[in-house]
Amino acid sequence: MTKADIDGPTATGIAGALEATEVAGVLGADATPASGWWRSAVVYQVYPRSFADGDGDGVGDLPGVREKLPYLAGLGVDALWLSPFYPSGGVDAGYDVVDPRGVDLVFGTLADLDAVLAEAHALGIRVIIDLVPNHSSSRHPWFVEALAAEPGSPERARYLFRPGRGDGPPNDWPSKFGGSAWTRVAPDDEWYLHLYDAGQPDFDWSNPEVRAEYESILRFWLDRGVDGFRVDVAHGLVKAPGLPDLGRGDEPLVLAGVDTGPMWDQDGVHDIYRAWRRVLGEYGDDRILVAEAWATEERVALYLRPDEMHQAFDFRYLGAGWDAAAVAGAVSRAVEISSGVGASPTWVLSNHDVVRAVSRFGRADAVAWSAGIGPDDAQPDLTLGTRRARAGALLTLGLPGSAYLYQGEELGLPDHTELPPSARRDPVFRRTGGASVGRDGARIPMPWHAAHPGLGFGGHPWLPQPESYGALAVDVQEGDRMSTLSLYRRALALRRRSGAGAAEFAECRLEGRMLTVTTSALRVVVNFGGDPVRVDGDPGALLLESVPGALRDGMLAADAAVWLRL
Ligand code: GLC
């Protein structure tokens, strides 16, 4: 490949050229050859609580996951990421862990987890689990001991206990979920830090005991055969020395977006990940670390250095909305940044923390993705959102690199945007006094069979399903060649056959609202605009289209995408 014909692959070069609305650049020319399964893997996020319910108690579980493994193999994914299944205090849907070496009774037993691992592996599917190192549950034995112990004790030194300033908290930090990040143990006692809910006290990562504990937890799961870890809040573990004020008054922290301030993305986190990488290295070179780091792309690149993590979600891509220039900018930058550190990009369109793509793309603002959509907000146009999400899926799966899918994305599920307050479980809703409806809408139990109770999920799902989910059930879509599920299956099969995930980037071209990404495997063309656009080249080259008839007489329909043979 030749070098970029824009001003070299620099930040200003790409951003500047993209502002001119038309750009042709050769990207990633220096990328190291792909090696390692994760570099091109399609990873499916299972949110166990809402995936499949094996015992009919209304909460999904590991036997449910086990039963659906053939479905996932049929879909064609390479790996699963299991969101937390650990015994938990129940305040943040499992992200408040009481025992990081166990399985919560509601999800089953360690034997069920072992069975998921063994059967997934037999189907050629790897399994990554969620690791939650920034905080524990307030019911974790260590925190219970800390509360019972004196200020200054070794028990308290595992967390961040501090005396208040006068009657107030030790500093001005807000919790990401709303309210203060500090809770006072008792009048006349210390305060403890929780960047999230009060039931999620932050560990003190300057304490060697905490570091040793997490290395031991890694080994526990590696010994059991997991293929890696999605590292929760990877940018939060180390806080600036002295815990200085943030100085932003009452401004709330963004729920999903780039985090800045003395509690985020401190240089000290990298020592932790280097140590973890060495632990993983003891198990060969196939086990991986995936960072959930809400930092700028430049800073995220640091987590991807060869002796740290293998992947980091590209949240700029996730947040780009239905905007050709923003998406083009995110794609170009991701390729440039990851190739600069010898990693590959990690694309993601949806997860359990953000409004699902169908609902996001179905609103005029298209980027209202972090705070949830409630009954009083403008409701998404689901026909438009579905059409765009299908096109977005073809872009995501056509791009070189790894792609993370969130359960139900392959069905084109929207958010439940009309949940009543009484049904809401996300602590964000409570802690913000309803100002943010929170993330429950993206966490609704999966519809498996249209005619069964709870749409085949089971009797009384822990969150109610919206009416629209019936027509989107797996059994309905399986029989329909035009369904979103069929589109994902075809795209994943073709991605595998064509080597699209492991291909080399060649060019990312933005013309008006049409984005064309050319790789060594295929060409993806997306029309982000509301009018058809002319696509140059051989009309016989059509491999896949996001909607039937997307490409006709050389014209690509509005809000549609195609894969073309080179
Ligand atoms: C991560 C998780 C989110 C959780 C938070 C606190 O952002 O994805 O669901 O609430 O961490 O653990």
What is the rounded CA–CA span in Å between residue 153 and residue 387?
Answer: 58
What is the 3 state secondary structure string of 367-380?
A: CCCCCCCCCCCCCC
Which residue has a Cα nearest atom 9 of ligand 1? 353
SS3 61: coil
**Rounded distance from Cα 161 to ligand 1 centre (Å):** 22
* Residue pLDDT tens, the chain, 566 long: 222 322 223 222 222 222 222 222 322 333 333 359 999 999 999 999 999 999 999 999 999 999 999 999 999 999 999 999 999 999 999 999 999 999 999 999 999 999 999 999 999 999 999 999 999 999 999 999 999 999 999 999 999 999 999 999 999 999 999 999 999 999 999 999 999 999 999 999 999 999 999 999 999 999 999 999 999 999 999 999 999 999 998 888 888 889 999 999 999 999 999 999 999 999 999 999 999 999 999 999 999 999 999 999 999 999 999 999 999 999 999 999 999 999 999 999 999 999 999 999 999 876 556 679 999 999 999 999 999 999 999 999 999 999 999 999 999 999 999 999 999 999 999 999 999 999 999 999 999 999 999 999 988 999 999 999 999 999 999 989 999 999 999 999 999 999 999 999 999 999 999 999 999 999 999 999 999 999 987 877 999 999 999 999 999 999 999 999 99
**With a 6 A CB cut-off, is 410 part of the ligand 1 pocket?**
no
**With a 6 A CB cut-off, is 197 part of the ligand 1 pocket?**
no
**With a 6 A CB cut-off, is 196 part of the ligand 1 pocket?**
yes
Q: What pLDDT shows up at residue 371?
A: 78
Q: Own/partner pairs for 513-520, CB < 8 Å, 24+ apart?
A: 513/324, 514/324, 514/556, 515/324, 515/327, 515/328, 515/331, 515/395, 517/331, 517/395, 517/398, 517/399, 518/566, 519/398, 519/399, 519/400
What is the rounded CA–CA span in Å between residue 299 and residue 294?
Answer: 9
Tell me how long the chain is.
566
For residue 97, what are the CA distances in angstroms to 142, 463, 477? 11, 21, 36
Question: Residue 42 in contact with residue 409, Cβ under 8 Å?
Answer: no
**With a 6 A CB cut-off, is 227 part of the ligand 1 pocket?**
no
Question: Residue 153 in contact with residue 255, Cβ under 8 Å?
Answer: no
**CA-352 nearest atom, ligand 1:** 9
**CA-95 nearest atom, ligand 1:** 12
Which residue has a Cα nearest atom 12 of ligand 1? 95
Q: Which two tokens stand for residue 439?
A: 């993330």
**With a 6 A CB cut-off, is 233 part of the ligand 1 pocket?**
yes
* Residue of 232, 265, 410, 440 with catalytic role: 232
Active site residue 410: no
Please spell the DSSP secondary structure of 422-459, one letter per residue.
GG---HHHHHTTTSS--SGGG-PPPP--TTSGGGGT-S
**Rounded distance from Cα 159 to ligand 1 centre (Å):** 18
What is the rounded CA–CA span in Å between residue 359 and residue 417?
Answer: 9
**Rounded distance from Cα 48 to ligand 1 centre (Å):** 15
Q: Count each helix (H run) and each strand (E run) in the chain, helices first.
A: 15, 20
Active site residue 96: no
N- to C-terminal Cα separation, the chain = 15
**CA-177 nearest atom, ligand 1:** 10
What is the rounded CA–CA span in Å between residue 330 and residue 14?
Answer: 10
**Rounded distance from Cα 498 to ligand 1 centre (Å):** 35
Please spell the DSSP secondary structure of 84-112, one letter per residue.
P-S-B-SSSTT-SBS-TTS--TTT--HHH
**With a 6 A CB cut-off, is 92 part of the ligand 1 pocket?**
yes
For residue 424, what are the CA distances in angstroms to 152, 161, 256, 418, 438? 38, 31, 19, 10, 8
**With a 6 A CB cut-off, is 47 part of the ligand 1 pocket?**
no
Which residue has a Cα nearest atom 7 of ligand 1? 233
What is the rounded CA–CA span in Å between residue 19 and residue 23?
Answer: 9
Q: What pLDDT shows up at residue 18?
A: 27
What is the rounded CA–CA span in Å between residue 13 and residue 508?
Answer: 13
**CA-294 nearest atom, ligand 1:** 7
**With a 6 A CB cut-off, is 232 part of the ligand 1 pocket?**
yes
Phi, psi angles (nearest 5°) of residue 202: -75, 135
For residue 90, what are the CA distances in angstroms to 98, 232, 442? 9, 17, 18
**CA-135 nearest atom, ligand 1:** 12
Strand order in the sheet with 551-552: 533-534, 555-556, 551-552
Strand 228-231, strand 126-131: pairing: parallel
**How many beta carbons lie within 10 A of that of residue 459, not counting itself?**
11
**Rounded distance from Cα 479 to ligand 1 centre (Å):** 36
Among candidate residues 300, 301, 411, 398, the one with its CA nearest the CA of residue 350 = 411
**Rounded distance from Cα 251 to ligand 1 centre (Å):** 20
**With a 6 A CB cut-off, is 353 part of the ligand 1 pocket?**
yes
Among candidate residues 566, 565, 538, 543, the one with its CA nearest the CA of residue 554 = 538
Q: Which two tokens stand for residue 41?
A: 């893997």
**Rounded distance from Cα 524 to ligand 1 centre (Å):** 33
Among candidate residues 53, 73, 74, 70, the one with its CA nearest the CA of residue 62 = 53
Out of 47, 50, 81, 92, mutate this one to test ligand 1's pocket (max ligand atoms within 8 Å of CB): namely 92
SS3 82: strand
410: left (phi over 0), alpha (psi -120 to 50) or beta: alpha
**Rounded distance from Cα 305 to ligand 1 centre (Å):** 24
Out of 82, 95, 177, mutate this one to test ligand 1's pocket (max ligand atoms within 8 Å of CB): namely 95
Which residue has a Cα nearest atom 6 of ligand 1? 95
Helix or strand run (H / E) with residue 276: helix 269-281
Q: What pLDDT shows up at residue 540?
A: 75
Among candidate residues 446, 436, 290, 432, the one with its CA nearest the CA of residue 369 = 436
Helix axes 110-122, 208-224, angle to 10 degrees: 50
Please spell the DSSP secondary structure of 2-35, one letter per residue.
PPPSSSSS-HHHHHHHHHTTEEEEE--TTPPPP-
**How many beta carbons lie within 10 A of that of residue 530, not counting itself?**
9
**With a 6 A CB cut-off, is 95 part of the ligand 1 pocket?**
yes
Out of 197, 229, 232, mutate this one to test ligand 1's pocket (max ligand atoms within 8 Å of CB): namely 232
CA angle at 534 for the pair 530 and 538, rounded to the nearest 5°:
140
What is the rounded CA–CA span in Å between residue 222 and residue 106?
Answer: 23
* Residue of 22, 57, 267, 282 with catalytic role: 282
What is the rounded CA–CA span in Å between residue 199 and residue 175?
Answer: 12
Among candidate residues 511, 552, 535, the one with its CA nearest the CA of residue 328 = 511
Q: What percent of the residues of the chain are helix, what percent strand, and what percent coil, each to the nearest 5? A: 30, 15, 50
Q: What pLDDT shows up at residue 364?
A: 81
